[in-house]
Chain A
Amino acid sequence: MTTQTVDQAAAAAARATPQRIAHRVRGLSDRAIAWLFISPTILLLLAINIFPLLWTVYLSFTNFRANQPGREFKWVGTRNYERLLGSEDIWGYMQATAHFVVWTMAIQIILGLGLALLINRAFRGSGFWTTLILIPMMLSPAVVGTFWTYLYQPQTGIFSYILNVFHNFGPIDMIGSVSLAPWAIVIVDTWMWTPYIMLLCLAGLRSIPDYLYEAAEIDRANWLQKFWYITLPRVLPFLMLAVLFRGIENFKMFDLVVELTSGGPGSTTELASINLKREAFEKWRTGYSSAFAIILFVTVFGLGNIYVKALKRVTS
């Protein structure tokens, strides 16, 4: 479209606009018009995001119970926070969460990057293998959790069977054993979400221009040097982004672990979010669970901010 036709179209639009509205719009600054357009979104965000957050902060200082809406509730000051921070159990849930997040991230980074490096090579059927590897992350966590409970079944599960091929361990109770259950959930999450890390790493690998490797060849760099000085720095922003997404997701992990272990044995795999749900919607301690939610929010928000700053430094 030429400049002339654009002008003509604008003029036609202006003519079509009723005089009074045209005057009104003309009287508004660009900034005002911008506010006019985004205000519905801002109002919606305030209503469904900011207000609940502020309301949760308020509730965290009360003894409110959502299952007793008619009952008067009292301001209890910092009592909920004191109980939380003084509770041995809460630190147990946080430790279980930390174990889960740290190990899933560490293993998934290594495996995801490794798979991406393999898939990135041109070979016959690479598309098929890529699709096959991606299947686990397309499944519902509830489905994955349920069928892995069968795979982990000590007597009839295939997991125990395969391990017993290598050595006669006897029935291996992955879910019922205190020492194995934390690893059982790490394994399943790794199986499900490593493809996601791989996918992002693959995007990073495919964005590296060939001439960098060609230059490295000319400089007689070995494969380790090429990986260390070209591949890793170029993939790192993608990898860090993947870790950010998965880290946040795993910090609030619920469905997969509930299906697998229900937080057991005992409280061995009771992650913070599982306990939060129990406090909020099974015990109905709304005030207390609000305080716990705020603590978790501040933790994720704080760690997320630190991480994003690091990410910016890497990308710059």
Chain B
Amino acid sequence: MRQLKAFAIAAAAVTAMTVGAQAQDKEITLCWAAWDPANALVELSKDFTAQSGIKMNFEFVPWTNFADRMLNELNSGGKLCDLMIGDSQWIGGGATYNHYVKLNDFFDAEGISMDDFLPATVYAYSTWPKGTPNYYALPAMGDALGWVYRKDWFARPELQAEFKDKHGRDLAPPKNWIELKEIAEFFQGRDIDGKTVYGAAIFTERGSEGITMGATSALYSWGFDYEKEPGSYDMAGVVNSPEAVEALEFYKSIYDCCTPPGYSDSYMVANLDAYKSGQVAMMMNWFAFWPGLAKDEAVGGDVTGYFVNPGQNVEASTLGGQGISVVAYSDKQAEALEYIKWFAQEGVQKKWWSLGGYSCHKAVSGAPDFADSAPFAADFLVAMNGVKDFWQEPTYAELLQSMQKRVHDYVVAEKGTAQEALDKMIDDWTITFEDDGKL
């Protein structure tokens, strides 16, 4: 009997060791951009590994090369990534070219409901064709373009007085783009604590998506739209409307008047550097950076204030953020789906927000105390209610590059007029849609 007991214990130990080893052998790779929220996700995913025994590997690529690198990976059927947190605009290509696994059956089987997530994020990050109940991603990271300002500078009595004298109102976060420009002009070239400072850090980057994201933040506020009717690809008179022309001219005027010298190719990191080093009074960037900024030694705490992208004709913000998808070429789809199942849980989503990731789960962002949970949380909700995204067509990369060129040519290189830039953009986009069989 004693021998039998010893044998049973030994057998149980061997079995446990084997199962444990098998679980440890399992590993999946998650691909995303290299930025603050990615570090938070690494921290969060430790819980997943502890629970499931599946080891997580991460492939993070800097934003400027992210689309290039990852779309090449998807287009070549690469097996590097099992999970992809791809940009919102990739959803059309991901679904159409079968890069992403359709998740409807999985969601049904696991009881994951899209009704539990903010509608704007489900629409933007998960569905293709847009708005249909065909899901290719779980909303993972809500994001929108927002602004920060130097609250400490704004609060200085002498600056308050001078600004009021000049503009007849308090020096406060702007309510529209005209006010934003007035504030930027006010600070441009000003001496603060013995250092020359500038008005605003805006997106002007040429290579990837920078200037498009920046310029659309103005265009959307002027009421810009991509087509007359959704799905019509009828762009004339909308893309180049008088309002769009005015918005683009306005964005250029801010670039001309109020950015630091040499600000012709700047995106997220350059803006953060300019702001953190005390060069600018205001900065446009993604909400994703606000948790990190709030903790920053130099500009965190009460030094920084936050505001939503100002409206002009309408209230609107450029959409950022991403959904998480399972890559169709992965050999480890079961493990990848297990990760999504785990990630969709309410408790995990709450922890995600606490670590610095913007949860799209209603239980988190819809909770009554959410608005007070961080100094920028309320603004995030406001922004997410008015977000607008770039084309999410399968040919989005081509459409994006055309806009990058036309807008950069006009805003930075002073080539032609805003009207010409937008007219040429329509010509480029028409060729793209014709080649794609949409026109």
Report the separation of the CA atoms of residues A153 and B279 in the bound assembly, to the nearest whole angstrom: 14
Name the contact of A266 in the complex, choosing from B207, B394, B397, B408 (C-beta under 8 A): B408
Q: Tell me which residues from 247 to 293 in chain A have a Cβ below 8 Å from any Cβ of chain B.
A: 258, 261-268, 278, 281-285
Report the separation of the CA atoms of residues A131 and B408 in the bound assembly, to the nearest whole angstrom: 42
Whether the pair A262, B261 counts as a contact (CB closer than 8 A) is: no
Surface stretch bound by B, among A6-14, A48-56, A168-176, A188-196: A168-176
Whether the pair A282, B68 counts as a contact (CB closer than 8 A) is: yes
Whether the pair A155, B262 counts as a contact (CB closer than 8 A) is: yes
Q: Tell me which residues from 360 to 416 in chain B have a Cβ below 8 Å from any Cβ of chain A.
A: 394-395, 397-398, 401, 405, 408-410, 412-415
B410 partner residues in chain A, CB cutoff 8 A:
266
Name the contact of A283 in the complex, choosing from B207, B263, B397, B414 (C-beta under 8 A): B397
A152 partner residues in chain B, CB cutoff 8 A:
262
Report the separation of the CA atoms of residues A152 and B394 in the bound assembly, to the nearest whole angstrom: 38
Closest to A288 in B: B435
Let me know if B312 is at the binding interface, CB within 8 A: no
Let me know if B236 is at the binding interface, CB within 8 A: no
A98 CB, nearest partner CB in chain B, Å? 18
Whether the pair B97, A282 counts as a contact (CB closer than 8 A) is: no
What are the interface flags for A150-175 relative to B under an 8 Å C-beta threshold, 1 for contact and 0 otherwise? 00111100000000000000110101
A222 CB, nearest partner CB in chain B, Å? 49
Surface stretch bound by B, among A66-74, A112-120, A294-302, A308-316: A66-74
A265 CB, nearest partner CB in chain B, Å? 4
B413 partner residues in chain A, CB cutoff 8 A:
178, 264-268
Whether the pair B261, A173 counts as a contact (CB closer than 8 A) is: yes
Whether the pair B261, A154 counts as a contact (CB closer than 8 A) is: yes
Report the separation of the CA atoms of residues A66 and B397 in the bound assembly, to the nearest whole angstrom: 13
Let me know if A63 is at the binding interface, CB within 8 A: yes
Chain B residue total in the interface (Cβ 8 A):
30
Report the separation of the CA atoms of residues A70 and B412 in the bound assembly, to the nearest whole angstrom: 39
Report the separation of the CA atoms of residues A63 and B431 in the bound assembly, to the nearest whole angstrom: 12
Report the separation of the CA atoms of residues A291 and B72 in the bound assembly, to the nearest whole angstrom: 21
Name the contact of A176 in the complex, choosing from B71, B93, B207, B264 (C-beta under 8 A): B264
Question: Beyond A176-B412, A265-B412, A266-B405, is A283–B262 a contact (Cβ under 8 Å)?
Answer: no
Whether the pair A153, B262 counts as a contact (CB closer than 8 A) is: yes
A61 CB, nearest partner CB in chain B, Å? 14
Closest to A283 in B: B398
A266 partner residues in chain B, CB cutoff 8 A:
206, 405, 408-410, 412-415
Name the contact of A173 in the complex, choosing from B75, B264, B394 (C-beta under 8 A): B264
Let me know if B265 is at the binding interface, CB within 8 A: yes
Report the separation of the CA atoms of residues A170 and B260 in the bound assembly, to the nearest whole angstrom: 13
B409 partner residues in chain A, CB cutoff 8 A:
266-267
Closest to A262 in B: B207
With a 10 A CB-CB cut-off, give which of B75, B264, B401 has the most chain A CB atoms.
Answer: B264
Report the separation of the CA atoms of residues A152 and B68 in the bound assembly, to the nearest whole angstrom: 27
Report the separation of the CA atoms of residues A69 and B75 in the bound assembly, to the nearest whole angstrom: 8
Report the separation of the CA atoms of residues A178 and B413 in the bound assembly, to the nearest whole angstrom: 6
B408 partner residues in chain A, CB cutoff 8 A:
264-267
A69 CB, nearest partner CB in chain B, Å? 8
Report the separation of the CA atoms of residues A208 and B405 in the bound assembly, to the nearest whole angstrom: 52
With a 10 A CB-CB cut-off, give which of A153, A264, A283 has the most chain B CB atoms.
Answer: A264
A278 partner residues in chain B, CB cutoff 8 A:
401
Report the separation of the CA atoms of residues A173 and B410 in the bound assembly, to the nearest whole angstrom: 18
Name the contact of A264 in the complex, choosing from B261, B401, B412 (C-beta under 8 A): B412
Closest to A71 in B: B97
What are the interface flags for B193-223 relative to A under an 8 Å C-beta threshold, 1 for contact and 0 otherwise? 0000000000001110000000000000000
Q: List 25 A-B contacts (CB under 8 A).
A: A67-B97, A83-B431, A152-B262, A173-B262, A173-B264, A175-B264, A176-B262, A176-B263, A176-B265, A177-B264, A178-B414, A261-B265, A264-B206, A264-B264, A265-B265, A266-B206, A266-B413, A266-B414, A266-B415, A267-B413, A281-B68, A282-B397, A282-B401, A284-B397, A285-B435
Query: Which A positions have Cβ atoms within 8 angstroms of B?
Result: 63, 66-70, 83, 89, 152-155, 170-171, 173, 175-178, 258, 261-268, 278, 281-285
Query: Which B positions have Cβ atoms within 8 angstroms of A?
Result: 68, 71-72, 75, 93, 97, 205-207, 260-265, 394-395, 397-398, 401, 405, 408-410, 412-415, 431, 435
* 8 pairs of A and B residues whose beta carbons are closest in the complex: A266-B413, A176-B264, A266-B409, A154-B262, A283-B398, A171-B261, A262-B207, A264-B206
